[in-house]
């Protein structure tokens, strides 16, 4: 069923002379999937989380990752996925996929698969961002079980738009136990800053620390 999915989505019409688009094993070779974990949230869902790293020296765009839910015989029960819009060279971003009603099925495993990505000659990915005054932990007054907040500053010479803070939460054994994403303002001019807050209300285990990755699009 994986081959059928890749074949159906690998049409050549989306490529161009200024970018390379790959599906299947080629796209997987451009990335490294690590810290894979799964858990149930107690509300009828299976949550699959991982960190996807760009191992190239050039940026990637539209990185598609599929999660495949299987039973004990290896048969596919369900699949769903997500997209990382921008992944700069060497950057690593956490991803989370939710299977609704997954814990009501007799599932045994989830397989992650990076099946598509683009390698453009030019990219709008913007990484000239700096985090300051970051605090993290549990706050009884918050709806989150663990939260990180602080300030993100544009330290580059271009406007940064669609600023996102990607959060990977780890336990004391360095296992990924939760993933969250949060916005930080619509657009930041050079030198501007904005506050951010990102947290999670479910996790696969006790959270000990969080890694934050700010990313944005170059607007000029």
pLDDT at 24: 66
Residue-wise pLDDT tens digits, 47-98? 999 999 999 999 999 999 999 999 999 999 999 999 999 999 999 999 999 9
Is the separation of the CB atoms in 113 and 97 below 8 Å? no
Report the C-alpha gap between 101 and 44 in whole angstroms: 5
Residue-wise pLDDT tens digits, 95-153? 999 998 666 678 899 999 999 999 888 888 889 999 999 999 998 888 899 999 999 99
3-state class (DSSP) for residue 174: coil
Range with the poorest average pLDDT among 33-37, 104-108, 153-157, 182-186: 104-108
Alpha carbon distances (Å) from 220 to 129, 159, 189, 215:
16, 6, 10, 16
| Kind of pairing between the strands at 146-154 and 193-200 | antiparallel
Percent of the chain with pLDDT over 70: 87
DSSP character for 88? -
Residue-wise pLDDT tens digits, 148-180? 999 999 999 999 999 999 999 999 999 999 999
Residue 6 is inside which H or E element, if any? helix 2-8
Burial of 86: CB neighbours in 10 Å, binned 0-12, 13-18, 19+: buried
In the chain, the domains with their CATH numbers are 21-120 (2.60.40.3230), 125-218 (2.60.40)
Residue-wise pLDDT tens digits, 3-30? 222 222 223 334 333 456 676 678 889 9
Residue 92: alpha-carbon gap to chain centroid = 8
What average pLDDT score do residues 183-208 get? Answer: 93
| Kind of pairing between the strands at 187-188 and 129-137 | unpaired
Residue 10, token pair as written in the block:
């690998």
């Amino acid at each position: 069923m994986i081959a059928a999915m890749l074949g159906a989505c690998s049409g050549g019409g989306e490529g161009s002379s200024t970018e390379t688009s790959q599906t299947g094993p080629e796209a997987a070779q451009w990335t490294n999937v690590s810290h894979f974990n799964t858990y149930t949230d107690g509300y009828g869902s299976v949550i699959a989380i991982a960190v996807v790293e760009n191992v190239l020296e050039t940026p990637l765009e539209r990185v598609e990752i599929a999660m495949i839910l299987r039973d004990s015989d290896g048969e596919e029960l369900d699949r769903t996925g997500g997209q990382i819009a921008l992944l700069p060279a060497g950057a690593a971003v956490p991803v989370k996929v939710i299977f609704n009603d997954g814990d009501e099925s007799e599932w045994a495993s989830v397989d992650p698969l990076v099946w598509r990505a683009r390698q453009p000659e030019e990219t709008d990915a913007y990484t000239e961002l700096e985090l300051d005054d970051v605090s993290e932990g549990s706050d009884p007054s918050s709806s989150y079980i663990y939260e990180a907040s602080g300030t993100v500053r544009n330290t580059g010479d271009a406007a940064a738009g669609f600023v996102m803070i990607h959060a990977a939460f780890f336990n004391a054994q360095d296992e990924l136990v939760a993933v969250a994403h949060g916005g930080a303002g619509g657009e930041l001019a050079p030198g501007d800053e904005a506050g951010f807050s990102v947290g999670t209300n479910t996790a696969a285990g006790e959270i000990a620390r969080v890694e934050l990755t700010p990313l944005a699009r170059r607007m000029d």
